[in-house]
A and B are shown apart, each in its own frame.
Chain A
Amino acid sequence: MATHVGRLPARRSLRDVLEGKGFPYLMVVPTILVLSIVGVIPFVYTVFISFQETSFTRTVGFNGVENFTSLVSDPLFWKALGVTSLILVVAVPVQLLLGLGIALVMHRGILGSRFIAPVLLLPAVVAPTVVAIIWKVMLAGTWGFLTYQVVDRFSLLERGSVLGLPRSALVSILLIEIWQWTPFVALALFAGLQALPLSPYRAAAVDGASRWQIFRYLTLPMLLPLLAVLLLLRTLDSFRIFDTIFILTGGGPGTSTQVVSIYLYKSVFQFWELGRAAAGAVLIWVMFFIFASILYRIFSRRLKLF
């Protein structure tokens, strides 16, 4: 009788898993699970609805791409995209430019930045709902603070009030966005500036470079990844704007400040056109994944974060 000397098959106990190769995956599993449930399932469901004909909150039958065609032939959809794009194209660059300016001043040297910085952060962390109330008070028709001090004093409007006219309402929304996020951008860029390596600057000083040259050829390139991240983050965030505009103007006057989120909200909860709203959500989602992958590439390659 031959005796086999061999190993018994290892009994996989929890201990083994915890101590073994499976550990990294085990740690991640709960998160993946949760995100799948709260992220993937709703997404799949939305895709499903976008191909269905809907009646109020029930789905009635397969609809092909009719929801999508109905969506892109709705002028209000394009209007909403237009308003959102306007915010994007105007408010975001202004935030970055103004923020950069402030950050440069701070970086050049000020006293008490430890005290100024936290206060500057306030607009960014105040609940958007409260931001809406703040600006409702500032821009109120007759008694609003800014209405009195600026609009009426300089007779900026011939008639009506700031939030009652389409153009001025839109300008207000832009200004509010800029107001809320410029300080944050400034602080982020300030931190970025402070973290820049000193040696290139010493070398440049030795070489006699001018202030502008230093900025243009040294600071700016080194700041570029951070600027890119902020640009993308602010861009993505402007697509998500909802709370403030919803409460302040409700998308009005008319539909002049109706951004995509509000358009989708009204499609569902006012007009009950679920199929079309789902189609819109799917399109937005697709756009977002594209943006997010670009963002990630910057994080992992340029910023070397991952």
Chain B
Amino acid sequence: MSDTDNTRSPRTLSRTLILVLVTAAFVFPVYWTLSLSVKPREFMFSIPPTWLYPPIWDHFAAIFGNGDFIRNIVNSLILATTSTLLVVLVGTPAAYSLARLGPKRKDDLMMFVLGSRMAPPIALAIPFFLIYQKLGLLETHLGLIIAYMSFNLSFYVWLLAVFSRDIPADLEGAGFADGYGPTYVFFRVMLPLMLPSIIATAVLVFIFAWNEFLFALILGGSAAETLPVAISRFITPAGVQFGPLAALGTIAVLPVAILVLALHRYIVRGLSMGAVKG
């Protein structure tokens, strides 16, 4: 059962076929909807559905020609990038500490970290909304960046700690034996070794921030409107036009898709909170 059969036996080929069909079935809805972004209007609502048609770029042009949508894309970029950078800066030392140095009460800390990751966003969004109102942080980039820290920081610390435990401790040991202090060991020895994990985890954090909806909806208003919120609010003076909407959705999905295709193993590990081994 564990001997994975990689030969081209008929059994393997048929299994492969099954998987290909299964995969196609799962991914088809994504393809179909995003393909509306290049579908001419006369085919869009046709019954039966049209499969082949000459693609048009008008819908994308409508999106890129609209300053509001550009603003949404920029907002999403700024928020995702900045919050990810902050999370990396604040969280990396903590992850190292929890993975290696075993401070006392480590269990409590890890529980605390895990708990804040797991809390349902709406439970946090309500007090955030009220507090932000008083502080004037509604509709600001800063406000959303802070709010994103609530789930992204804990996730990052947790996951990076899990990844870091995989790194063999010999090199650090050697560093200590040579008389270097912990700071040096951290910066010169561990950090370079952690770098791949840092990047992979940061990518996941970026994806979460990029896809985030609830906080952006409640706290972002219009000045800090992100892509997911703009998609949800997509109404033109002529009603809901699915072509431009699909184009907007494609823009939202494309960066994530590229990152995922490149780093899929890390992402599976990440989404399972590190339960899955490399």
Contact = CB atoms under 8 A, between A and B. Distances in A.
A28 to B, nearest CB: 5
A86 interface: no
A133 B218 CA distance: 20
Interface string B212-224: 0110001000000
Given A123-B30, A124-B271, A296-B110, A45 B181 contact: no
Contact of A142 (B20, B47, B115): B47
A233 B27 CA distance: 23
Interface residues of A, number: 115
Contacts of B110: 296, 300, 306
B150 A110 contact: no
A154 interface: no
Contacts of B269: 191
B82 to A, nearest CB: 14
B265 A191 contact: yes
Contact of B183 (A19, A126, A194, A211): A19
B126 A110 contact: no
Contact of A30 (B94, B106, B218): B94
Nearest to A211: B1
B60 interface: no
Contact of B26 (A183, A215, A247): A183
A25 interface: yes
A188 interface: yes
A198 B114 CA distance: 32
A182 B23 CA distance: 11
B213 A243 contact: yes
Interface string A226-245: 10011001001001101100
10 contacts: A24-B101, A111-B8, A111-B16, A123-B27, A127-B213, A129-B228, A191-B265, A196-B2, A278-B126, A296-B114
Interface of B: 1-8, 11-13, 15-16, 18-20, 22-23, 26-27, 29-30, 32-33, 36, 44-49, 90-91, 93-94, 96-98, 101-103, 106-107, 109-116, 118-124, 126-131, 133, 146-147, 149-150, 153-154, 157, 161-162, 165, 181-183, 186, 207, 210-211, 213-214, 218, 227-229, 231-232, 242, 245-246, 249, 252-253, 256-257, 260-262, 264-265, 267-269, 271-278
Interface of A: 18-19, 23-28, 30-32, 34-35, 37-39, 41-43, 45-46, 49, 57, 102, 105-113, 116-130, 132-135, 137-138, 142-143, 145, 148-149, 179, 182-184, 187-188, 191-196, 198, 201, 211, 214-215, 218-219, 225-226, 229-230, 233, 236, 239-240, 242-243, 246-247, 260-261, 264-265, 268-269, 274, 277-278, 281-282, 284-285, 288-289, 291-293, 295-296, 299-300, 303, 305-306
